[in-house]
Structure 1
Amino acid sequence: MDYLVGMHKNKDGRHDISEILLVSHAFPPDVGGAQQVAVQNARMLSKTHKVEVLTSTNAPKGWDQRYDFTVTRVSTPFGVWPLRYARAFAARSSRSYRAVIFNDPAALYAAGLSAPSSFLKRGIGYLHGTEPELFFSEPKLLYRLVRFRHYFKRGLAGCRVILPVSKYMQRKFVEQTGLHGFESKMSVAYAGVDQSVFYPDPSDIRDHHDIEDTADVLLSASRLVKQKGYDEMLQIFADLCREGHSLHWIIAGDGPYRESLLQEVEREGLSDCVTWVGELTQDNLRQYYSAADAFWLLSKFREAFGLVYLEANACGTPVIGRDRGGVREAIQNGTTGFLVTNAEDCRRILANRRYQSLETEDVLDWAGDFGVKKAIQRLQKIIDQVACSIDTEMGS
Structure 2
Amino acid sequence: MFRKLNILMVNDIIFPDVKGGSGRVVRELSKSLIRKGHNISVLVRRASEILPLREKEEIEICRYSVNYRNNLTFFISSLKNVYVTFNHISKGRKFDLIIFHHPLPALGISLIRRIRKIPKIYIFHSSWPEEFEVKSKKRGVGFFLRRWIERKILKDCSKIVVLSNYSKQKLLDLYGSLRLKVEIIPGGVDIERFKPSDNKNDVRIKLGIPIDKFTLLTIRNLTVRMGLENLIKAMVKVTERYKDILLIIGGRGILESKLKTLTKELGLERYIKFVGLIDEKVLPLYYQAADVFILPSKCLEGFGLVTLEALATGVPVLGTPVGGTIEILRRLDEKFLFKGIDVDSIANLIIESISDADIREGKLREKCRKFVVENYSWERSASELEKVLFSVLNVK
**What residue in structure 2 maps to residue 199 of structure 1?**
195
| One-letter amino acid matched to 1:154 | K
**What residue in structure 2 maps to residue 124 of structure 1?**
121
Number of residue-to-residue matches in the alignment:
372
- Using the alignment, how far apart are the partners of 1:183 and 1:224 within structure 2? 34
SS in structure 1 at match of 2:8: strand
After TM superposition, the structure 1 = structure 2 runs for residues 1-396 of structure 1, keeping only pairs within 5 Å, are 5=2, 7=3, 17-28=4-15, 29-47=17-35, 48-59=37-48, 60-61=50-51, 65=55, 67-77=57-67, 78=73, 79-90=76-87, 92=90, 95-114=93-112, 116=114, 118-120=116-118, 122-131=119-128, 133=130, 139-142=139-142, 144=144, 147-175=145-173, 177=174, 179-201=175-197, 202=199, 204-208=202-206, 212-332=210-330, 335=333, 338-342=336-340, 343-352=343-352, 353=354, 354=356, 356-357=358-359, 359-368=364-373, 369-388=375-394
TM-score norm. by structure 2 comes to 0.83
- Using the alignment, how far apart are the partners of 2:56 and 2:91 within structure 1? 28
2:239, 2:245 within 8 Å by CA — same for their partners in 1?
yes
- Using the alignment, how far apart are the partners of 2:6 and 2:332 within structure 1? 44
1:197, 1:283 within 8 Å by CA — same for their partners in 2?
no
1:197, 1:282 within 8 Å by CA — same for their partners in 2?
no
Gap change, CA 1:325 and 1:44, over 3 Å in 2: same
- Using the alignment, how far apart are the partners of 1:134 and 1:257 within structure 2? 16
More displaced 10-residue stretch of structure 1: 359-368 or 130-139: 130-139
2:128, 2:150 within 8 Å by CA — same for their partners in 1?
no
Give the C-alpha shift of residue 249 in structure 1: 1.1
Give the C-alpha shift of residue 282 in structure 1: 2.6
- Using the alignment, how far apart are the partners of 2:230 and 2:294 within structure 1? 12
More displaced 10-residue stretch of structure 1: 316-325 or 295-304: 295-304
Give the C-alpha shift of residue 334 in structure 1: 6.3
Gap change, CA 1:200 and 1:80, over 3 Å in 2: same
**What residue in structure 2 maps to residue 394 of structure 1?**
none
| One-letter amino acid matched to 1:220 | T
| One-letter amino acid matched to 1:383 | L
The Cα RMSD (Å) is 2.9
- Using the alignment, how far apart are the partners of 1:355 and 1:188 within structure 2? 36
TM-score norm. by structure 1 comes to 0.83
SS in structure 2 at match of 1:100: strand
- Using the alignment, how far apart are the partners of 1:84 and 1:114 within structure 2? 12
1:108, 1:152 within 8 Å by CA — same for their partners in 2?
no
Structure 1 residues 201-222: Cα deviation after superposition (integer angstroms, max 9, x where no partner): 3453433566554421111110
1:165, 1:305 within 8 Å by CA — same for their partners in 2?
yes
Give the C-alpha shift of residue 182 in structure 1: 0.9
Give the C-alpha shift of residue 58 in structure 1: 4.5
Gap change, CA 1:94 and 1:387, over 3 Å in 2: farther
- Using the alignment, how far apart are the partners of 2:43 and 2:207 within structure 1? 42
Compare CA radii of gyration and give the structure with the larger one. 1
Give the C-alpha shift of residue 149 in structure 1: 3.6
| One-letter amino acid matched to 1:19 | N
1:89, 1:114 within 8 Å by CA — same for their partners in 2?
no
- Using the alignment, how far apart are the partners of 1:338 and 1:141 within structure 2? 40
2:52, 2:63 within 8 Å by CA — same for their partners in 1?
no
SS in structure 1 at match of 2:248: strand
Gap change, CA 1:135 and 1:250, over 3 Å in 2: closer
Give the C-alpha shift of residue 291 in structure 1: 1.1
Structure 1 portions without partners, runs of 5+: 8-16, 392-396
| One-letter amino acid matched to 1:194 | D
Give the C-alpha shift of residue 264 in structure 1: 2.6
Structure 1 residues 137-166: Cα deviation after superposition (integer angstroms, max 9, x where no partner): 96553465xx54444323222211101221
1:191, 1:375 within 8 Å by CA — same for their partners in 2?
yes
Give the C-alpha shift of residue 76 in structure 1: 4.2
- Using the alignment, how far apart are the partners of 1:264 and 1:139 within structure 2? 29
1:222, 1:252 within 8 Å by CA — same for their partners in 2?
yes
- Using the alignment, how far apart are the partners of 2:6 and 2:151 within structure 1? 26
1:290, 1:317 within 8 Å by CA — same for their partners in 2?
yes
